[in-house]
Amino acid sequence: MSSEFVNVTESAHKVLGQGNFVLMMSEGLFDGKPTAFYDLYRLEESKQAEHWDVLETIPPSGGHQGPAEVGTEL
C-alpha cells in the first residue's frame, strides 16, 4: 500500500457478533476523505481467521436528493 493512503478510524458505530463472525461498522478518514468502514471478521479458536472489508466515501451533506425526495418538484 502506498504511504499516501492513510486509514484513520475516528469512531466505531456498531460491533455485531453472531457465531464465529463479527461485523464492525465505523467511520474515519481514508486518503483524507470522510469514509465509512465495514469490517467482517471470521474467528477461529478466539483468533482472527479471515477478514473482509468495504470502504465507501461519505458524500458531503447538502445537495443530495434522498429517496423521499425522488420524483418531487424542487
Domains identified in the chain and CATH numbers? 7-57 (3.10.450.630)
Q: What are phi and psi of 67, to 5 degrees?
A: -60, -35
* DSSP-H helix ranges across 31-71: none
Give the up-direction half-sphere exposure of residue 62: CA atoms within 13 A in the CB hemisphere: 0
> Helix, strand or coil for residue 47?
strand
pLDDT in tens, 19-28: 999 999 999 9
Q: Give the pTM.
A: 0.69
CA 37 remoteness from chain centre: 2
Classify residue 49 by its DSSP letter: E
pLDDT in tens, 28-37: 999 889 999 9
Q: Given this model, what pLDDT does residue 65 score?
A: 61
